[in-house]
C-alpha cells in the first residue's frame, strides 16, 4: 500500500512539474541574417547547413529546427543556381517532401508571402507506425525556396502552435 501511495505522489509531482514547464514555454523570435527571414519558434532552433548536387549544379540548403510538446518545427531554405518556372519549382519541392516523408496530400492551396507565390499543404504519413500530420508552407522568392514544416501527431494537428509558427514567418532585409 505504501508503494502505491509513493508512486501516486511521484506521478502527481511529475505532472505538476511537467505542467509548469509547459506553461513556462516561451516562444522566441528567431532571425536568420543569412536566410533573410524571421519566425517565432518554441525554442532556440538547431541550425544545420549542407550543399548537395543537383542537375543545375550545387544547391545550398539550411535547416532551422526545434520541437516542443506539440511537435517538430522547421524552416528550411534552399538556394538554387538558376530560377525555373514557378509551378515546376513548387511542385518539385512538394513532391520531394512527400516522397521523403512517405506522406500523401490531404489539402493543398495557393498562397502568397508579400508578392511571392507559395503553397499551403497538409499531408498525412506514418512515422514508427504512428500517424503524423505534416503542415507545410512553401514559398518561392526569386531563386530561393523557403519551406516551413510543422509535424505533429494527429491529436496535436489542430494546436494553435501550428498557426502561431506558420503565420509568424516574414522576410527581412
Most confident among 6-10, 11-15, 57-61, 140-144 (mean pLDDT) = 140-144
Q: What is the pLDDT of residue 25?
A: 72
Residue written as grid cell 494537428: 157
Question: What is the mean pLDDT of the segment spanning 154-162?
Answer: 95
- Establish if 9 belongs to a structural domain: no
- Establish if 7 belongs to a structural domain: no
Per-residue pLDDT at 112 exceeds 80: yes
Using pLDDT thresholds of 50, 70 and 90, give the confidence band for residue 92.
Answer: confident
- Establish if 6 belongs to a structural domain: no
**β-sheet bridge partners, residue 147:** 76, 138
- Establish if 12 belongs to a structural domain: no
- Establish if 3 belongs to a structural domain: no
Query: Who contacts 168 (Cβ-Cβ below 8 Å, separation ≥6)?
Result: 29, 38, 39, 40
| CATH number where 33 lies | 3.40.1000.10
Residues in the chain: 173
Closest-CA residue to 122 (of 102, 110, 139, 137)? 137
Per-residue pLDDT at 139 exceeds 80: yes
Question: What is the mean pLDDT of the segment spanning 49-64?
Answer: 87
The per-residue b/e assignment along 144-157, b for 16 or more CB within 10 angstroms, e otherwise, is bbbbbbbbbeeebb
Q: Could you tell me the pTM of the whole model? A: 0.82
Give the structural domain span for 124.
26-171
Distance between CA 43 and CA 30 in Å, rounded? 9
Of 40-44, 99-103, 131-135, least confident by mean pLDDT is 99-103
Whether the Cβ atoms of residue 170 and residue 38 lie closer than 8 Å to each other: yes
Helix (H) or strand (E) holding 79: strand 71-79
- Outline where DSSP puts E strands in 14-45: 28-32, 37-41
Question: What is the mean pLDDT of the segment spanning 139-145?
Answer: 93
- Establish if 20 belongs to a structural domain: no
Question: What is the mean pLDDT of the segment spanning 69-96?
Answer: 89
Number of folded domains that form the chain: 1
Q: What is the pLDDT of residue 133?
A: 97
Q: What does the DSSP 8-state code read for residue 24?
A: T
Per-residue pLDDT at 22 exceeds 50: no
Q: Under DSSP, is residue 172 helix (H, G, I), strand (E, B) or coil?
A: coil
Distance set, CA 32 to CA 17, 38, 48, 69, 71 (Å) = 33, 6, 12, 24, 22
- Establish if 1 belongs to a structural domain: no
- Establish if 4 belongs to a structural domain: no
Mean pLDDT over the full length of the chain: 85
Using pLDDT thresholds of 50, 70 and 90, give the confidence band for residue 136.
Answer: very high
Amino acid at each position: 500500500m505504501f508503494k502505491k501511495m509513493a508512486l501516486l505522489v511521484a506521478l502527481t509531482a511529475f505532472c505538476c512539474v511537467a505542467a509548469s514547464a509547459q506553461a513556462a514555454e516561451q516562444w522566441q523570435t528567431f532571425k536568420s541574417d543569412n536566410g533573410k527571414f524571421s519566425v517565432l519558434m518554441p525554442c532556440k532552433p538547431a541550425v544545420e547547413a549542407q550543399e548537395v548536387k543537383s542537375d543545375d549544379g550545387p544547391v545550398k540548403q539550411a535547416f532551422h529546427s526545434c520541437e516542443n510538446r506539440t511537435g517538430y518545427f522547421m524552416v528550411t531554405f534552399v538556394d538554387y543556381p538558376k530560377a525555373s518556372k514557378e509551378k515546376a519549382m513548387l511542385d518539385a519541392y512538394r513532391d520531394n517532401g512527400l516522397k521523403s516523408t512517405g506522406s500523401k496530400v490531404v489539402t493543398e492551396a495557393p498562397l502568397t508571402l508579400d508578392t511571392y507565390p507559395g503553397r499551403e499543404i497538409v499531408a498525412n504519413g506514418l512515422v514508427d507506425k504512428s500517424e503524423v500530420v505534416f503542415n507545410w508552407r512553401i514559398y518561392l522568392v526569386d531563386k530561393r525556396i523557403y519551406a516551413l514544416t510543422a509535424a505533429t501527431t494527429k491529436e496535436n494537428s489542430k494546436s494553435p502552435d501550428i498557426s502561431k509558427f506558420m503565420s509568424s514567418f516574414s522576410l527581412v532585409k
